Amino acid sequence: MTHEDFFDLKPLSGSLGSDFSKTTENETVEITDIEIVKVDKRGPCTLSFKTSCSKKNYKKNVVVNN
């Protein structure tokens, strides 16, 4: 491997969201409370999750800023 084989991730980090502890409804969520995670190809920049298996609706968190 040479130096040219490595990819600089710093430019990529600018496109990622900065606050993953807030949902799209501005609710605070702890990562340890998440039980189910869903990724949909129609919304690849959004992470859907549930904090309990008994809940019907998923909450959403924007992972990548466009």
Q: Where are the domains of the chain?
A: 24-66
Q: Which two tokens stand for residue 29?
A: 């969520």
Rg (CA), the chain: 15
Whether the model pTM is above 0.75: no
Contacts made by residues 62-65, CB under 8 angstroms, sequence distance 24+: 62/17, 62/24, 63/16, 63/17, 63/20, 64/15, 64/16, 64/17, 65/15, 65/16, 65/17
Q: Distance (Å, rounded) from C-alpha 64 to C-alpha 16? A: 4
How confident is the model over 4-20, as pLDDT tens digits? Answer: 888 777 776 666 655 66
Residues of the chain with pLDDT under 50: none
The pLDDT of residue 65 is 62
